[in-house]
Amino acid sequence: MIRFVLVRLFRALLTIMAVVTFAFVVLRMSGDPATVMLGPDVPKEAVDAFRKAWGLDQPLWIQYLAYIKSIFTGDFGVSMRDKASALNLVLERVPATLQLTIPALILKLIFGIPSGVYAALHRQSFSDRGVILLAVLGFTIPSFVMGLLLVLIFSVILGWLPSGGQDTWMHGILPTLTMSIGGIGILARFSRSAMIEVMGQPYIRTASAKGLTWRDVVWNHALPNAAVPIVTIVGFMVGSLIAGAVVVESIFSWPGIGRLLVVSVTNRDLAVVQCILLIIAVAMVLSNLVVDLLYGWLDPRLRSHAAGH
Amino acid sequence: MATVDLAATPASGKPNRLISFLRRNVPLSVAFGLLWLAAMVLTAVFADYIRPFNITAMDLGSRLSAPGGLKHLLGTDELGRDVLSRLIQSIRVSLVIAFGATILSALFGTLLGFLAARFRGFVEHLVLMLADFQAALPFLIMSLAVLAFFGSSMLLLVCLMGFYGWERYARIARGLAISAGAQGYAAAVVQLGATPSRVYLHHILPNVASTLIVSMTLTFPEIILMESGLSFLGLGVQPPETSLGNMVGFGREYLTRAPWIMLAPAAVIMLTTLSISLVGDWLRDKLDPTIR
């Protein structure tokens, strides 16, 4: 088990390093920082002085090491627009994003998984078809269309809910709904197919044949086995708690990470963009790591197999 | 796309028999999907001929006019530009981007997957690590970062979208190629002296093609959604060029006064992705040997 955890930890670290390298390469490829900062018409001495001051005259690999060192000491540079620390600027926005994504995740879990499982246990019934239809719609309606349709219905036509901003809890309803509807569909579809596959297995027949109640079969034999694929997709949703609201925050002018990212991209505020990039990657990698470890806990067969790989 | 043609062109001779054959073998929803996709492809191909107005032609006398008028069937936008014409051009741009990007990512991913299967060892680890990296960074975020650093252009957008989903093809191609290598036929042609490229392109590729095509039908709508998402945020296709997401993005500002500007492209996006999913699911049941 320790070996399994260590292998996973090493891979997670490797992935984070790959993201850091990606940020460094893209940053350097997008132009000489000296000319970007100083403008095209400065004398050569000023450019040289600037390059020396910022270490840009060093070989590339020394710059790379210095970059990694600054990243790991929490120095992500300074926002070009606000002249504030990029990291602080980004961290300030995290709570606003989580205010939307955590309720949305809870909605996805409490509606998505039960409806998928119910549909799988009542195949070909009316409710099964309804769940499939909703799941397909959830898949195919992009969140920006869903968001605008909800605004059109609930703000413009009915006038019940505000269409943007972050003043009261009422403002959070439409963005949360927008994010959760698609996710409920995806989760329902995954749970349904996972459950259908498990219910066709011989051990379910065995469990029924030895006289267990239907309830016992479903709760103690089917659900734990269907959990592995469901945990995968839930893990992905947890990982995107920070990143998942880019479009929705833009629609509802919600001051979270996603809004900051879009604004920074438009203004080409590189320090903020790369800071967000790294934070999101770390969140994704961590949740993938947790999912991998959960696999080992849920399914002992994967433990030895994965470590041997 | 070949299936679209098959279904759309009636075979010579007995049309009644063909119709009853189709009715038995093609579910209604799939038939709808195929028809809608055929219509979209035709729209994209003949956009220049069926567009009633130029996409930048302004009719300042009838700005924000509602749909249903004889002159402007789907109404006009804030500058009096014909929504139908812009919609037709948007369908073309979005489909061309999605189509080009799907092909690119299928080629790139399959190539990397085959390389991983052929050389194993270091190359395989490198490819798998790249796939991990791709999975660690949501694609929308990565695209936003690249667009922030380089600015937006059409070529960059297609290339960027061409990276979407490559890791899926790479994993599939690698897995299938490794298992094909263990089967008799690949070993047999190697024994006959075939070069590696011949083994992979002439013998293994045809055997794994159906699975790859199915995953292309999964990637295609996702690329349409990704491109329209980026364009919606104002970071994808740039004006004066137009795309479906870009139209929704600009229409959003007139949501209260002229919702049709945004509803028409939104409906096209939904119907297109829905059709591809329906057809793709059906194709998977028909073609994919791994789920039988």
pLDDT of residue A287: 85
Helices and strands (H, E) in chain A, number of each type: 16, 0
Q: Does A9 touch chain B (CB under 8 A)?
A: no
pLDDT of residue A217: 82
Question: What is the pLDDT confidence band of residue B292, given thresholds at 50, 70 and 90?
Answer: very low
The partner residues of B82 in beta bridges, in order of sequence, read: B76
Residue type, B222: E
Lowest mean pLDDT of A90-104, A269-283, B263-277, name the range.
Answer: A269-283
Lowest mean pLDDT of A157-161, B112-116, B213-217, B287-291, name the range.
Answer: B287-291
B277 contacts in chain A (CB < 8 Å): 136, 139-140
Question: What is the pLDDT confidence band of residue A309, given thresholds at 50, 70 and 90?
Answer: very low
Phi, psi of A78 (to 5 degrees): -120, 135
Lowest mean pLDDT of A215-224, A238-247, B68-77, B203-212, name the range.
Answer: B68-77
pLDDT of residue A56: 67
Q: What is the mean pLDDT of residues B220-246?
A: 84
Question: What is the pLDDT confidence band of residue A40, given thresholds at 50, 70 and 90?
Answer: low
Please tell me the pTM assigned to this model.
0.77
Q: What is the mean pLDDT of residues A120-124?
A: 82
Question: What is the pLDDT confidence band of residue A10, given thresholds at 50, 70 and 90?
Answer: confident
The ipTM (two decimal places) reads 0.73
Q: Which two tokens stand for residue B213?
A: 């095509």
Q: In terms of pLDDT, which residue wins out, A4 or A250?
A: A250
pLDDT of residue B232 exceeding 50, the answer is: yes
B235 contacts in chain A (CB < 8 Å): 262, 265-266
A140 closest CB neighbour out of B132, B245, B277:
B277
pLDDT of residue B36 exceeding 80, the answer is: yes
Q: Does A250 touch chain B (CB under 8 A)?
A: yes
Task: Using alpha carbons, list the distances in angstroms from residue B288 to A75, A260, B117.
Answer: 50, 43, 21
Give the residue carrying structure tokens 């590729």. B205
Cβ B76 vs Cβ B83: under 8 Å: yes
pLDDT of residue B136 exceeding 60, the answer is: yes
Q: How high is the mean pLDDT of chain B?
A: 79
Question: Please, what's the largest Cα pairwise distance for chain A?
Answer: 88
pLDDT of residue B3 exceeding 50, the answer is: no
Q: Distance (Å, rounded) from C-alpha B248 to C-alpha B261? A: 7
pLDDT of residue B41 exceeding 50, the answer is: yes
Q: Cα-Cα-Cα-Cα dihedral of B28, B30, B35, B38, to 10°?
A: -170
pLDDT of residue A106: 92
B255 closest CB neighbour out of A30, A151, A243:
A151
Q: Nearest residue of A to residue B29 by CA position?
A: A133
